[in-house]
Amino acid sequence: MNSTRDKVKERRHSNCVNGTCKEISAGRSMEGKVLVLYTGGTIGMIRNENQALVPFPNVFVKKLRLYPHMHDREYAEETYGPMGPLVLPVSENNSRRVVYSVIEYSPLCDSSNMTMDDWIRIAKDIKQSYEYFDGFIVLHGTDTLSYTASALSYMLEALGKIVIVTGSQVPIFEARSDGMDNFLTSLIIAANYSIPEVCVFFNKKLMRGNRTIKTAASSFEAFDSPNFPPLAKAEINIEVNYRLIFRPCNIEKFNVHSSLNRNVGLLRLFPGITSDLIKAFFQSPIEGVVLQTYGAGNVPANRKDIMDEFRAATERGVIIVNVTQCNSGTVSSLYEPAKLLEDAGVIMGFDLTPEAALTKLAYVLSKKDWSIEMKKDSIQINLRGELSNGKVSTIQDLDLVEAVASSLRISSAKELQELGSILFPAMLNAAVLRRDVKKLESLKRCGADISQQNADGRTALHIACREGDLKIVQSLLKMGASVHIQDRFGRTPLTEAIENDHHEIIKILLQCGAHLHEYACLIGEKMCVAAATGSVRRLKSFQIAGADLSVTNLIGMTPLHFAAIYDKLSVAIFLLENGANASITDKTNCTPFDLAVMTKSNRVLEHLRAYE
Ligand code: ASN
């Protein structure tokens, strides 16, 4: 099987027909690209001759192409050719066309067969294709889906794009299935919304992945997020509660932590549990255990024998995390027995689900350069929104929008949200223009989504990158502003920084995971224009942003060809000193040297001689 990277490259190239990138046709910036990793599960299963559900390889995509609501064949073939990606038809809810590619895993598996290796594979596949897509979907069996979502949430560090894990209770190709809605809505959300989290979408709810548990084996409402409200609800409209979105607030680039510690386990207490069983459970090589206790974190206070086993284990360096057996709620030191556990070195896992606690242990314990104290501390720190450790936010008290709303006599939640989406972008943008960091911070505290888009889809970060104030850009990034949002014209904050030549800002955006998102030939066009007009500074902007200085435009010309035609010596020197290839021929078979001869560009000609 080809590697994912090869497939993605193939897919990108198949978008270029006869050397002409069709991406430049009108409206193409309004496409949202989604990569679907199809790992198996009921969603794609088909009944075999014994009526048992089994996954069949190589049928999923073929069948999807036949469903008009999953694939707009006419548009797709006209735009990408017959072997191109799948494309959703336009609908009310998706302002952007959803173009999606499916990578089918081999073998496809029932999720009860999944192991940590599968989580690592998924994480690595996302990393390989990260720059080419706006969002990712993992199609997965439901049985262990919450474990995978929780594990991915930790492994995908400084995630800047949405990852949705979904599946179904009934196969998508059966007449009455939840699969179609789960998949279709996930595609629309992944292509259209800036939610940099690993989510689970199921039965109309988008939930934080590491907060979910599978609660029902035979209901369409198979998942719940008992300790945290849904991030979005997909009814007639998709309503996102932006205040709940957990955004990474560090200047840090997306990275995949691709190792996990397998010496972890889950132990559920029950009345009369023997100390022999506990002793056996804690034998080496175990390094981390999630202990599911009663109610708010209780253990039998009269069982010194089992407390001694816990203490012996923690003294050997085993990390034991206390979580509740109840479906919802948190452990606390409210009752005496919970205190006994703390004395035995067991740490509180607050309201972590067992799945989130186990995968967190596997993640934290695999951090080779962290001390045991750091590992214990990070179990109790909120890394990806997976736990609430008792601090209650005071956002509600300060809510500015609510204050305005009450003076306007607005009360419905929908109107309130609409008011916020009108007020906040304008206020954020004004604060950016006034270079007022304090104002930005207070708006965030008042409930503003720092990445909220205005009517043109532009965010405060777009404006700040155009203005060129490094301090404001830094502040916005530390407040969690997304570097990936494209406005209605397909421009990202990085486009603004490049086209205004703010080099330091380009660098910091890259440190936060920003990348060039346009097709190479379009970037080539812009760089050729820069070369023709003698703008070394602009070429430098592109270079810092990671562009290839030998990139070609639509007719195969490089910036050096243009420097030659227009006799731009400083451009030619810059390009050549930075490794541009002088021997590329354009569509008319000319090198930059040939063109310099033809146009009598003597200064550049002299310089190019050395490279002939
Ligand atoms: N056994 C299936 C799985 O987890 C269940 C499902 O997907 N509904 O793969």
Q: Checking DSSP bridges between strand 205-208 and strand 198-202, what pairing results, if any?
A: antiparallel
- Say if residue 220 is in the same domain as residue 360: no
Q: Is the CB of 143 under 6 A from ligand 1?
A: yes
Q: Is the CB of 111 under 6 A from ligand 1?
A: yes
- Say if residue 416 is in the same domain as residue 358: no
247-268 burial by CB neighbour count: b if 16+ within 10 A, else e?
A: bbeeeeebebeeebbeebbbbe
Tell me the CATH number at 350: 3.40.50.40
Which of 511, 530, 552 is the last residue before a domain boundary?
Answer: 511
Q: 46, 47, 142, 214: which to mutate for ligand 1, most atoms within 8 A of CB? A: 142
Q: Is the CB of 141 under 6 A from ligand 1?
A: yes
- Say if residue 46 is in the same domain as residue 149: yes
Specify the DSSP class assigned to residue 451: T
Output the CA 140–ligand 1 centroid distance in Å.
8
User: Measured on CA atoms in the order 5, 71, 200, 171, is the torsion positive or negative?
Assistant: negative
Q: Is residue 4 part of a domain?
A: no
Q: Is the CB of 459 under 6 A from ligand 1?
A: no
Q: Is residue 125 part of a domain?
A: yes
Q: Three-state SS string across 474-527, please?
A: HHHHHCCCCCCCCCCCCCCHHHHHHHCCCHHHHHHHHHCCCCCCCCHHHHHHHH
CB atoms within 10 A of CB 523: 20
Q: Which of 496, 505, 512 is nearest to 471 (CA)?
A: 505
Q: Is the CB of 148 under 6 A from ligand 1?
A: no
* pTM attached to this predicted model: 0.85
Q: Is residue 145 part of a domain?
A: yes
- Say if residue 203 is in the same domain as residue 116: yes
The minimum-distance atom of ligand 1 relative to the CA of 41 is: 9
DSSP character string of 402-427: HHHHHHTT--SHHHHHHHHHHHHHHH
And the tokens for 68? 């008009």
Output the CA 228–ligand 1 centroid distance in Å.
24
Whose structure tokens read 């205190």? 339
Q: Is residue 13 part of a domain?
A: no
Q: Is the CB of 110 under 6 A from ligand 1?
A: yes
Q: Which residue among the candidates 4, 39, 42, 330 is catalytic per the annotation?
A: 42
Q: Is residue 557 part of a domain?
A: yes
Which of 452, 481, 511 is the last residue before a domain boundary?
Answer: 511
Q: What are phi and psi of 593, to 5 degrees?
A: -60, -50
- How many domains does one find in the chain? 4
- Say if residue 547 is in the same domain as residue 583: yes
Q: Which of 174, 144, 169, 142 is nearest to 51 (CA)?
A: 174
User: Measured on CA atoms in the order 350, 352, 354, 359, is the torsion positive or negative?
Assistant: negative
Q: Is the peptide bond preceding residue 300 cis, with omega within 30 degrees of 0?
A: no
Q: Is residue 250 part of a domain?
A: yes
- Say if residue 36 is in the same domain as residue 181: yes
The minimum-distance atom of ligand 1 relative to the CA of 145 is: 4
And the tokens for 434? 């006034």
Q: 111, 212, 214: which to mutate for ligand 1, most atoms within 8 A of CB? A: 111
Output the CA 45–ligand 1 centroid distance in Å.
9
Tell me the CATH number at 491: 1.25.40.20
- Say if residue 100 is in the same domain as residue 124: yes
- Say if residue 173 is in the same domain as residue 285: no
Q: Is residue 226 part of a domain?
A: yes
- Say if residue 40 is in the same domain as residue 140: yes
Report CA 37 to chain centroid distance, whole Å: 14
Q: Which residue's CA lies nearest to atom 3 of ligand 1?
A: 141
Output the CA 570–ligand 1 centroid distance in Å.
62
Q: Which residue's CA lies nearest to atom 7 of ligand 1?
A: 141
Output the CA 55–ligand 1 centroid distance in Å.
10
Output the CA 177–ligand 1 centroid distance in Å.
14
Q: Is the CB of 179 under 6 A from ligand 1?
A: no
Q: 38, 110, 183: which to mutate for ligand 1, most atoms within 8 A of CB? A: 110
> Cβ(350)–Cβ(390) under 8 Å?
yes
User: Measured on CA atoms in the order 155, 161, 166, 172, is the torsion positive or negative?
Assistant: negative
Does an H or E element contain 577, and which? helix 569-577
Specify the DSSP class assigned to residue 282: T
Q: Which residue's CA lies nearest to atom 8 of ligand 1?
A: 169
| Residue 42 is among the residues annotated as catalytic for this protein | yes
DSSP character string of 187-251: HHHHHH----SEEEEETTEEEEGGG-EE--SSSS--EE-TTS--SEEESSSEEE-GGG-----SS
Output the CA 39–ligand 1 centroid distance in Å.
11
Q: What is the pLDDT of residue 383?
A: 95
Tell me the CATH number at 48: 3.40.50.1170
Domain that holds residue 369: 264-379
Report CA 584 to chain centroid distance, whole Å: 37
- For the chain, the first-to-last Cα distance in angstroms comes to 42
Output the CA 481–ligand 1 centroid distance in Å.
36
DSSP character string of 304-369: HHHHHHHHHHHHTT-EEEEEESSSS----S-SHHHHHHHHTTPEE-TT--HHHHHHHHHHHTT-TT
| C-alpha span between 239 and 221 (Å, rounded) | 19
566 three-state secondary structure: coil
89, with CB counted inside 10 A (0-12, 13-18, 19+), is middle
Output the CA 171–ligand 1 centroid distance in Å.
10
Q: Is the CB of 42 under 6 A from ligand 1?
A: yes
Which of 256, 272, 298 is the last residue before a domain boundary?
Answer: 256
Query: Which residues in 244-287 belong to E strands, given as ranges?
Result: 255-256, 264-268
Q: Is residue 18 part of a domain?
A: no
Specify the DSSP class assigned to residue 103: E
Between the alpha carbon of residue 516 and those of residues 4, 132, 486, the distances in Å are 20, 9, 11
| C-alpha span between 322 and 121 (Å, rounded) | 29
- Say if residue 468 is in the same domain as residue 594: no
- Say if residue 224 is in the same domain as residue 323: no
555, with CB counted inside 10 A (0-12, 13-18, 19+), is middle
Q: Mean pLDDT in each 10-residue stretch from start to end of the chain (612 residues)?
A: 42 37 46 96 93 92 95 94 91 80 96 97 98 97 98 97 98 94 97 95 98 96 97 93 87 95 98 96 97 94 94 97 95 82 94 98 97 95 89 44 64 70 86 91 83 91 96 95 93 97 97 92 95 97 97 94 96 96 94 95 91 75
Q: Is the CB of 167 under 6 A from ligand 1?
A: yes
- Say if residue 186 is in the same domain as residue 38: yes
Q: Give the list of residues 6+ apart from residue 323 with CB closer than 8 angstroms, or none.
A: 290, 291, 292, 293, 331, 349, 351, 352, 353, 354, 357
The minimum-distance atom of ligand 1 relative to the CA of 167 is: 7
Q: Give the list of residues 6+ apart from residue 40 with CB closer than 8 angstroms, or none.
A: 55, 105, 107, 108, 109, 110, 111, 139, 140, 141
> Cβ(507)–Cβ(498) under 8 Å?
no
Q: Is the CB of 112 under 6 A from ligand 1?
A: yes
Q: 143, 202, 220: which to mutate for ligand 1, most atoms within 8 A of CB? A: 143
